[in-house]
Amino acid sequence: MQLEKLKKIPKNQILIAGLVGVLLLVIAIPVDSGKKQVEEKEEIQEEQEGYNEGTGGAYEKNLERRLKEVLENMDGVGKVEVMITLKDNGESVVEKDRMTSSQNTQEGDNGSVRSVTEIQSQEETVFSGQQGSGQEPFISKEVTPQIEGILVVAEGGENSVVVKNISDAVLALFPVEAHKIKVVKMNL
C-alpha cells in the first residue's frame, strides 16, 4: 500500500528531495573542519596571549615541543626530553609620535654676537582603535625572549656521535653559545 503511494509521487519531487539531501550533507561537512580550524586558531591565540602577557611560558613550551619533534626524528637519538630556559620575557616596542622643534636666536651687542638655541621635543604614544577608554598602544615590534640555555635528555645520549649531532642541530636552530647546550643520556 505504501509502495503504491510512492509510485504516485512525481519523479521531479523525488529528484528535488534527493538533491536537497545531498546539499545538506555538503553544507554539514565543512562545518566540522571549520570548527577544527577555529579551535587551532584559538590555541595559537592562547599561546600568543601567554607570550604577550610577558610570561614567556607558552613561547618556551612551543620551542621545546618543536625541538623535541625534530630531535626524535634524528638517527640514533631515540626518545627525547627538552628543557629551554629564557634570559628574559621579550619586549614589546610601542610606536611613538615624536615632534621636535628648534628655535635659534642671535643677539648682537657692542660687536659681540650671542646665539641661543632652544630645542623642544615631545613624544606621544600611538594607540590602536578608536579614541576613548580601552585603547591599547600600537605595538610596532615584538622582540622574542633570549634563550639562556638548552638541556637535552636523550636515549642515545651515551653515544658521542649522537651527542655531537644533537649539539650541532641545536646550534643551527638557536642563537645560543655551545657551552650553554647540555646533552645527557636518558635514565631508562
Q: SS3 string of 39-80? A: HHHHHHHHHHHHHHCCCCHHHHHHHHHHHHHHHHCCCCCCCE
Does the structure show a pLDDT above 90 at 163?
Answer: yes
Grid cell 580550524 is found at 37
Rounded to the nearest 10 degrees, what angle do helices 57-72 and 160-173 cross at?
A: 140
3-state secondary structure of 162: helix
Does the structure show a pLDDT above 80 at 59?
Answer: yes
Report the predicted TM-score, pTM, of the whole model to 2 decimal places: 0.52
Average pLDDT over residues 26-41: 59
Q: Which residue did the predictor score with more confidence, 68 or 46?
A: 68
Exposed (0-12), middle (13-18) or buried (19+): which is 61, by Cβ within 10 Å? middle
Average pLDDT over residues 88-108: 82
For 173, the grid coordinates are: 636552530
Average pLDDT, whole number, for the chain? 79
Q: Minimum mean pLDDT among 19-33, 48-62, 147-161, 174-188: which range?
A: 48-62
